[in-house]
Amino acid sequence: MKNIIFAIIIAATACNSNIKTSQPDTKAERQKKKQNIEIKVTADKKKTITIDEDVVFKYKIKKTSNPDSTKVSVGFLSYKTFKNDEAIIWNSGDSNPGKTKINLTFYWGDTLALSKTMNFELLSDIQPQKLSFKVLNKWAHNVKAYTQGLEFSDGFLYEGTGNYGESMLYKIDLDNNEIVQSINLSKELFGEGITIINDKIYQLTWRSNIGYVYEKESLKKLYDFNYPTEGWGLTNNGSELIMSDGSEHIYFLDTEFIQETKKLQVYDNNGPVKHLNELEYINGVIYANIYGSESIVAFDAESGKVLKYINLSGMLDKSKVKTPIDVLNGIAFDKQKNRLIVTGKWWPYFYEIELVASTSLSNL
């Protein structure tokens, strides 16, 4: 009996010695295989496309077999995995506008993958509405205030101003034409946009890469924070700060650590909208002064797609102003009284305006 068992063990050992176990490729082996693969990828569209268009990708493989599958990714989003017998058609409808990288990853089995990246510029698929204005009311504005930020809170209008040696933060009772409180910034700082959230006022500076947080009630400085870009406009959506830096980029920041949570590129159906300055968030739409113009652009806060252009040409009769004036800048929405207020740097007035339909945008 023992001899029979011993024979069975020997036979089993002999059989197992003939079995070749499959070992995964080493990193060096995978790299060598990648070097032996040549992929050429082309697209049927030019580098600039309009959102919701299809892009058809074609590829040629040399020195190896066709891949088992291909995955298309845009940013952090993976859209679809295609088998090797399908056309690779990517629809841009779920994308935000702007310059973006489209990544195609080719797979051979579970261990070998190779990626190719193509650059595209996505234009908005929305034709912006053209608007003009009607002045409903106006109040005196400090002609020495180089307006950089404007925001309502609890019935008061807060204004942040710029220029070295002149930068300030004001709390204004607009209806009584009275400055209630004010503080000065250090002479070496150029004040920029402001916003108010959770009973705190946040204020940017231009090229110092530093911002300040104040107690809203007292205007007492609480602490400062840093950011890597220039500081221009500032607003908020109730939970995040929203900042511009003079380009087409809009940055979303958390209110505790002031770290970037999201970034948008503001585009219309023709291309990027640059020189975005003072900001105001109103019901899911961000309104921005276009620096150097007499226009405001309104864009979707989720996508960056331009929805409206507002032409404010002629609102201030400059021929009747004897003091120095600079560009249109300053947007504030009073939720309590449902009114939209605008002004400019060194302008003599705040204006309450109503938006009305327009047929021309001569200043754009």
Is pLDDT above 90 for 264? yes
CB count, 10 Å around CB of 57? 20
Per-range mean pLDDT, top range of 22-31, 47-56, 164-173 = 164-173
pLDDT in tens, 92-104: 898 999 999 999 9
Superfamily of domain 129-357: TolB, C-terminal domain (2.120.10.30)
* Structure tokens that stand for 299 in this block: 């864009």
**Percent of the chain at pLDDT above 90?**
68
Identify the band that residue 29 occupies on the pLDDT scale cut at 50, 70 and 90.
Answer: low
The predicted structure's pLDDT at residue 27:
59
Polymer length of the chain: 364
Longest Cα pair distance anywhere in the chain, in angstroms? 119
Q: Which residue has the tokens 């276009």?
A: 290
* Structure tokens that stand for 57 in this block: 């990708």
Torsion angle of C-alpha atoms 314, 316, 318, 321, degrees rounded to 10: 160
Q: Residue 275: which region, alpha, beta or left (left: phi > 0; alpha: psi -120 to 50)?
A: left
Identify the band that residue 31 occupies on the pLDDT scale cut at 50, 70 and 90.
Answer: low
Is pLDDT above 80 for 26? no
Superfamily of domain 27-123: Immunoglobulins (2.60.40.10)
Is pLDDT above 70 for 364? no
Identify the band that residue 312 occupies on the pLDDT scale cut at 50, 70 and 90.
Answer: very high
d(C-alpha 73, C-alpha 79), whole Å: 6
Spatial contact of 199 and 213, defined as CB atoms under 8 Å apart: no
Identify the band that residue 336 occupies on the pLDDT scale cut at 50, 70 and 90.
Answer: very high
**Percent of the chain at pLDDT above 70?**
86
- 161 CB contacts (<8 Å, ≥6 apart)? 145, 146, 147, 148, 167, 168, 169, 170, 191
Torsion angle of C-alpha atoms 156, 157, 163, 165, degrees rounded to 10: -10
SS3 337: coil
d(C-alpha 361, C-alpha 271), whole Å: 17
The predicted structure's pLDDT at residue 210:
96
pLDDT in tens, 112-168: 888 889 899 999 999 999 999 999 999 999 999 999 999 999 999 999 999 999 999
* Structure tokens that stand for 111 in this block: 């261990």
Better pLDDT: 226 or 364: 226
Spatial contact of 326 and 148, defined as CB atoms under 8 Å apart: no
Better pLDDT: 125 or 107: 125
Q: Domains of the chain: which residue ranges?
A: 27-123, 129-357
Identify the band that residue 22 occupies on the pLDDT scale cut at 50, 70 and 90.
Answer: very low
Q: What is the mean pLDDT of residues 237-246?
A: 97
- Would the CATH topology of 27-123 be identical to that of 129-357? no
Is pLDDT above 60 for 24? no
Q: What is the mean pLDDT of residues 218-231?
A: 95
SS3 124: coil
> Which helix (H) or strand (E) segment is 17 a member of?
helix 2-17
SS3 104: strand
Identify the band that residue 20 occupies on the pLDDT scale cut at 50, 70 and 90.
Answer: very low
* Structure tokens that stand for 130 in this block: 């053209």
Is pLDDT above 90 for 201? yes
What phi and psi, each to the nearest 5 degrees, are found at residue 7?
Answer: -65, -40
pLDDT in tens, 42-86: 787 788 999 999 998 888 877 677 788 888 888 767 777 787 666
d(C-alpha 122, C-alpha 30), whole Å: 35
